[in-house]
A and B are shown apart, each in its own frame.
Chain A
Amino acid sequence: MVNTTTGRKKDDSAAVFTQKASLVSAFVHDVKDRTGAMDKTLELLAQKPPLDPQMASGKKRDPSEKILAAPNLDHDGFQQLSDQCRAFPHIHLIRDRLRNFPGGIDMGVTTADFGIADTGTLVINSNDEQTRLATMLCEVHVAILAVSDIRETALSMTKELEILVRQKGSYTAFVTGASRTADIERVLAIGVHGPLELHIILVEEK
């Protein structure tokens, strides 16, 4: 498989990851670097239809406003995103107090710690409540994953997973596709209590 953005050949596990993630209706995008990832995120946000609030929020919001939560980006990453956001006045960028948005947020963008190729799964350290809420309350979840963090199978990376899982207070999430159900007549429906869409941005350079 040739990476359409970077023109280079994708390494095997990235190709498998992409294929498996697509099978569970996740959208995978290839970018070169962090700037590319931020651009892609904002592009997706621009295309996104307005929020369908799940409950009345405390204060009235401007209907054209879009809420973008980016709780777990590192300092530089968040800085870069907020710089890039400045060009779009209707984006409301937040990184904490997500409980103030029980009715939902438009988009949560988080980094992912690992990808698991054989199931197209993201591993996300969600110890921090804001990260959790961003990935649960958003309508669209954008996860940024470095190609070098993709492993073949969960079992092949048990050691790395254990480091995450064994910490006191750990909340480690495997995320595979958008939230889904087949509880009514076994018909697949996407978007129950979690995101309606999952986008994965594969970054070639860390």
Chain B
Amino acid sequence: MESHESLKSYKNRLDDALDNRFLRQAMDKFAVAYRASRENAFACMDVADLIQQVADIKAAAIADSKALLDRFVKKAKAHGVHVHLADTAEDANRIIGEIAQKSGSKKIVKSKSMTAEEIHLNRWLENLGLEVTETDLGEWIVQLRKEGPSHMVMPAIHLSRFQVADLFSDVTGTDQDAEIDRLVKVARKELREKFVEADMGITGANYALADTGTIGIATNEGNARLVTTLPKIHVALVGIDKLLPTLADALTVNRILPKNATGQAITSYVTWITGPSECTTTPSGKREMHIVFLDNGRKKIAADPVFSQVLQCVRCGACANVCPVYRMVGGHQMGHIYIGAIGLITTYFFHGMENAKNLVQNCTNCGACKAVCAGGIDLPHLIKEIHTRIQDEAGHPLQSLLLGKVLKSRKLFHSLLRTAHLAQKPLLDKKEKPYLRHLPMIFSSDHNFRRLPAIADVPFRDRFIKLHQPAKNPGFTIALFSGCVQDFVYPEHLEAAMKGFAQHNIHVTFPMGQSCCGLPAVSMGEKSAARDVALQNLDAIDLDKVDYIVTLCASCASHLTHGVPKLLKDYAPEKAAAFADKVIPYSVFMNDIVGIASDVSAGADVGRKTAFHSPCHLCRGLGVHNTPHELIEKSGNQYVPAVEEETCCGFGGSFSTTFPAVSNEILTRKLDDVTESGADLLVTECPGCVLQLRGGAAKQGRKFTVCHLSELLYPPMEH
């Protein structure tokens, strides 16, 4: 995978993964089972508080890593450990190779180490003519298959028992049944001799404790114990990000690591090693012990104000476990060496821009990873930051550049949308008005997985004047923030909402200077354009004159609340904060602020079984979970929960046009869940989700209809 892969070839790999039935089923089962076992492991615990503790411990250690390293080295040397500092991957490889050669070692056993994977250590050692054997079952399997791990904790999760049985039949020269217990015993037997014969053992470490010069290793199989006991030499390869001050810190991290990784309260073994331990086969009676500390860019990351939090990662793998994209395409397509959300980020730092540039786009920005991250890392945000960085370094692709340029000028943007409306005319489906019959040429055929809506004849901004009814003694004055999709594609969502506002005597203003919220620009790596539109929106709305900025688009709401202050922190921090403070999503405004009554849409179509799709930016972005359910009930309909209501629908803005095949699979999974719930109607609170879900439901002929929450509450008059 060293050669630079084109986006096209990357997409071909994604297609192959999507066609791999075993992988798909395995990943699906895993995604569901993982969620349950994680929940179970954390039952009765304050997870958020635990994560905060871990984040604080790690952040402090990163800031202090130089001093911690010095302290560790001093202690370890006093214990008799040979400590080596490797600046680069090559340095580390060379150091370890030399240790092996100087000691005359021929055979090496390893326990699983992502850090060793990071530097391609096996390849280096094998080139020196050494025999290297991975002893973690999953790692051994992928080593025999000459693959890399597809998960940080479960390296062979992409393989079936049948594939493993075939592999083991080859290795042992006898037919092996595809029975898991027996296959495990095959590994036990095959590897025992390797342990016994090995001259040298190599491990990673989960923790390096500066106070005592101790390393801590967590495993389940017990292989690391043999690797650090039978051979005469032990080499531990440790990233400098693993340094912590004390045992208590490590024990705190260890309370969350295994629970987040596999739902275990603790791994079967945690081994604490402080200097060379007894070894009866050496003249000194002690093992020769080396610790190789690896930098490989970590110091640079630590010094970066935006990215230093990357080093808070404890390598639990949870960010992959919950990722909707990982679930569809598996680990080899979702990381270079490190897998999952963190892999999208660290690939850039450890393995370079070329390996990262396709990967980093393969994210719907759903935030599921951030919600479970053991290190409290804002992963989706950093993924976008990397995307921006890569584009700044490598040049912005034309499409993204244009988008950025167009968005910066609201007038140009809006007039383009109006032109597009004219251009689409011949493409419109005559029978079913709101859909485009054929896709414009710029889209290739695989974008056809959902029906695309047409641009409205009259955008909301031109309709507002007519709809506007100034309220006398209004309860509230709001600024309505439309977002581009509702303004130009779904003005009816806003029209429905206007009815409700009028009923409740709410004074609505529609600031004409408002533009796109800027999220599409962020998601295409056009940070400076995003900043420009954020400033325009700040200027457009007079905060003194409104109580709230209400938006019917959860993505806009979340971006205006969290994204804009981040973008403007060096430009207009106070104003951005005051602005963000007034932003409120539609459901919360209607339910909690206006407090609408339960007969809200009496007379309309009621009593329908109604499922909800929770937009990522609503549930995880804004922490809103149950308010929409209450509104569904208030509308006189019956809320029926669909499983995985809070899992992404696969839209993700530009994600769905860059990776349509993956987007379609995520969408189909979602629609299946809704079908299974028995709902007649699917409601959501984001026009992007409506576009994806309604288009997909129409294309696939699903039996339910899709609408926005505002249309449920204030349905249009029957024609």
Say yes or no: A180-B157 contact (C-beta < 8 A), given A20-B265, A128-B278: no
The answer on a CB contact under 8 Å between B222 and A165 is no
The answer on a CB contact under 8 Å between B157 and A186 is yes
Q: Which of A103-160 contact B (CB under 8 A)?
A: 103-104, 118-121, 127-129, 132-133, 135-136, 154-155, 158
- Residues of the B chain whose Cβ atoms lie less than 8 Å from the Cβ of A132: 225, 229, 277
Q: How far is the CA of A2 from the CA of B147 in the complex (A)?
A: 53
The answer on a CB contact under 8 Å between B161 and A194 is no
Any A CB within 8 A of the CB of B355? no
- Residues of the A chain whose Cβ atoms lie less than 8 Å from the Cβ of B268: 24, 175-180, 194
Say yes or no: A183-B138 contact (C-beta < 8 A), given A170-B273, A176-B269: yes
Q: Which of B224-262 contact A (CB under 8 A)?
A: 225-226, 228-230, 247-248, 251-252, 254-255, 262
Number of A-B contacts (CB under 8 A): 195
The answer on a CB contact under 8 Å between A136 and B286 is no
Any B CB within 8 A of the CB of A78? no
In the complex, how many angstroms separate the beta carbon of B43 from the nearest chain A beta carbon? 12
Q: How far is the CA of A181 from the CA of B211 in the complex (A)?
A: 32
The answer on a CB contact under 8 Å between B137 and A192 is yes
Any A CB within 8 A of the CB of B57? no
When C-beta atoms are compared, the residue in chain B nearest to A158 turns out to be B248
Residue-wise interface mask of B (22-49) relative to A, using a CB-CB cutoff of 8 A (1 in contact, 0 not)? 0000100110010000000000000000
Q: How far is the CA of A78 from the CA of B230 in the complex (A)?
A: 25
Q: Is the interface of A mostly helix, strand, loop or mixed?
A: loop
> Measuring CB to CB, which residues of chain B are less than 8 angstroms from any residue of chain A?
26, 29-30, 33, 78-80, 135-138, 141, 154-157, 159-161, 164, 180-181, 183-185, 187-189, 191-193, 195-196, 209, 211-212, 214, 220-223, 225-226, 228-230, 247-248, 251-252, 254-255, 262, 264-281, 286
9 A–B contacts, CB within 8 A, in A order:
A99-B280, A136-B229, A170-B272, A174-B271, A180-B220, A191-B184, A192-B184, A193-B195, A194-B221
When C-beta atoms are compared, the residue in chain B nearest to A121 turns out to be B266
Please tell me which one of the listed residues A168, A176, A177, A183 contacts residue B274 in the complex, with CB atoms under 8 A apart.
A168
The answer on a CB contact under 8 Å between A173 and B225 is yes
Q: How far is the CA of A139 from the CA of B228 in the complex (A)?
A: 19
The answer on a CB contact under 8 Å between B247 and A179 is no
Please tell me which one of the listed residues A102, A167, A175, A187 contacts residue B180 in the complex, with CB atoms under 8 A apart.
A187
Any B CB within 8 A of the CB of A54? yes
When C-beta atoms are compared, the residue in chain B nearest to A20 turns out to be B265
Any B CB within 8 A of the CB of A91? no
The answer on a CB contact under 8 Å between B225 and A165 is no
Q: How far is the CA of A119 from the CA of B262 in the complex (A)?
A: 15
Please tell me which one of the listed residues B251, B262, B269 contacts residue A175 in the complex, with CB atoms under 8 A apart.
B269
- Residues of the B chain whose Cβ atoms lie less than 8 Å from the Cβ of A170: 214, 272-275, 277
The answer on a CB contact under 8 Å between B252 and A179 is no
- Residues of the A chain whose Cβ atoms lie less than 8 Å from the Cβ of B184: 181, 184, 189, 191-192
In the complex, how many angstroms separate the beta carbon of A203 from the nearest chain B beta carbon? 23
- Residues of the B chain whose Cβ atoms lie less than 8 Å from the Cβ of A176: 265-269
In the complex, how many angstroms separate the beta carbon of B163 from the nearest chain A beta carbon? 9
- Residues of the A chain whose Cβ atoms lie less than 8 Å from the Cβ of B157: 186
The answer on a CB contact under 8 Å between B272 and A165 is yes
The answer on a CB contact under 8 Å between A183 and B280 is no
Please tell me which one of the listed residues A102, A174, A180, A192 contacts residue B270 in the complex, with CB atoms under 8 A apart.
A174
Say yes or no: A184-B271 contact (C-beta < 8 A), given A99-B281, A192-B221: no
The answer on a CB contact under 8 Å between B266 and A179 is no
- Residues of the B chain whose Cβ atoms lie less than 8 Å from the Cβ of A20: 265
The answer on a CB contact under 8 Å between B272 and A185 is no
- Residues of the A chain whose Cβ atoms lie less than 8 Å from the Cβ of B280: 97, 99, 129
The answer on a CB contact under 8 Å between A169 and B225 is no
Say yes or no: A154-B254 contact (C-beta < 8 A), given A24-B268, A136-B226: yes
The answer on a CB contact under 8 Å between B181 and A189 is yes
Q: How far is the CA of A181 from the CA of B279 in the complex (A)?
A: 27
The answer on a CB contact under 8 Å between A127 and B278 is yes
The answer on a CB contact under 8 Å between B221 and A55 is no
The answer on a CB contact under 8 Å between A174 and B79 is no
Say yes or no: A155-B154 contact (C-beta < 8 A), given A170-B277, A183-B137, A194-B221: no
Given A104-B192, A127-B277, 16 other A-B residues pairs in contact with their CB atoms under 8 A: A55-B189, A102-B195, A103-B192, A132-B277, A136-B222, A154-B251, A162-B212, A169-B79, A171-B277, A173-B271, A176-B269, A179-B268, A182-B154, A183-B136, A183-B137, A189-B184
When C-beta atoms are compared, the residue in chain A nearest to B164 turns out to be A184
Q: How far is the CA of A97 from the CA of B280 in the complex (A)?
A: 9
In the complex, how many angstroms separate the beta carbon of B80 from the nearest chain A beta carbon? 7
Q: How far is the CA of A175 from the CA of B267 in the complex (A)?
A: 8
Any B CB within 8 A of the CB of A60? no
- Residues of the B chain whose Cβ atoms lie less than 8 Å from the Cβ of A136: 222, 225-226, 229
In the complex, how many angstroms separate the beta carbon of A84 from the nearest chain B beta carbon? 28
- Residues of the A chain whose Cβ atoms lie less than 8 Å from the Cβ of B26: 185-186
In the complex, how many angstroms separate the beta carbon of B139 from the nearest chain A beta carbon? 8
- Residues of the A chain whose Cβ atoms lie less than 8 Å from the Cβ of B196: 55, 102
Q: How far is the CA of A99 from the CA of B230 in the complex (A)?
A: 8
- Residues of the B chain whose Cβ atoms lie less than 8 Å from the Cβ of A178: 268
The answer on a CB contact under 8 Å between B79 and A168 is yes
Any B CB within 8 A of the CB of A22? no
Q: How far is the CA of A119 from the CA of B264 in the complex (A)?
A: 9
Any B CB within 8 A of the CB of A161? yes
- Residues of the B chain whose Cβ atoms lie less than 8 Å from the Cβ of A118: 265
Say yes or no: A183-B269 contact (C-beta < 8 A), given A127-B278, A128-B278: no
The answer on a CB contact under 8 Å between B192 and A179 is no
The answer on a CB contact under 8 Å between B141 and A192 is no
Q: How far is the CA of A129 from the CA of B226 in the complex (A)?
A: 11
The answer on a CB contact under 8 Å between B223 and A192 is yes
Please tell me which one of the listed residues B78, B188, B211 contacts residue A191 in the complex, with CB atoms under 8 A apart.
B188
The answer on a CB contact under 8 Å between B265 and A179 is no
Any B CB within 8 A of the CB of A172? yes
- Residues of the B chain whose Cβ atoms lie less than 8 Å from the Cβ of A99: 230, 280-281
Any B CB within 8 A of the CB of A61? no
- Residues of the A chain whose Cβ atoms lie less than 8 Å from the Cβ of B262: 182
The answer on a CB contact under 8 Å between B269 and A173 is yes
- Residues of the B chain whose Cβ atoms lie less than 8 Å from the Cβ of A158: 247-248, 251
Say yes or no: A192-B266 contact (C-beta < 8 A), given A127-B277, A166-B212, A168-B274: no
- Residues of the A chain whose Cβ atoms lie less than 8 Å from the Cβ of B188: 54, 191-193
The answer on a CB contact under 8 Å between B222 and A185 is no
Q: Which of A81-112 contact B (CB under 8 A)?
A: 97, 99, 102-104
- Residues of the B chain whose Cβ atoms lie less than 8 Å from the Cβ of A135: 225
Please tell me which one of the listed residues A52, A129, A164 contacts residue B277 in the complex, with CB atoms under 8 A apart.
A129
Q: How far is the CA of A24 from the CA of B262 in the complex (A)?
A: 13
The answer on a CB contact under 8 Å between B275 and A155 is no
In the complex, how many angstroms separate the beta carbon of A115 from the nearest chain B beta carbon? 13
When C-beta atoms are compared, the residue in chain B nearest to A165 turns out to be B272
Q: How far is the CA of A181 from the CA of B196 in the complex (A)?
A: 21
Q: Which of A41-73 contact B (CB under 8 A)?
A: 52, 54-55
- Residues of the B chain whose Cβ atoms lie less than 8 Å from the Cβ of A119: 265-266
Say yes or no: A171-B180 contact (C-beta < 8 A), given A103-B192, A185-B26: no
When C-beta atoms are compared, the residue in chain A nearest to B22 turns out to be A185
In the complex, how many angstroms separate the beta carbon of A49 from the nearest chain B beta carbon? 14
Q: How far is the CA of A166 from the CA of B75 in the complex (A)?
A: 10
- Residues of the B chain whose Cβ atoms lie less than 8 Å from the Cβ of A129: 229, 277-280
- Residues of the B chain whose Cβ atoms lie less than 8 Å from the Cβ of A162: 212, 247
The answer on a CB contact under 8 Å between B192 and A184 is no
Listed residue (A54, A161, A169, A195) with the most chain B CB atoms within 10 angstroms of its CB: A169
Shortest 8 CB-CB distances between A and B: which pairs? A194-B222, A183-B138, A179-B222, A192-B221, A54-B192, A174-B270, A170-B274, A183-B137
In the complex, how many angstroms separate the beta carbon of A114 from the nearest chain B beta carbon? 13
The answer on a CB contact under 8 Å between B137 and A169 is no
Q: How far is the CA of A148 from the CA of B164 in the complex (A)?
A: 46
Q: How far is the CA of A129 from the CA of B232 in the complex (A)?
A: 12
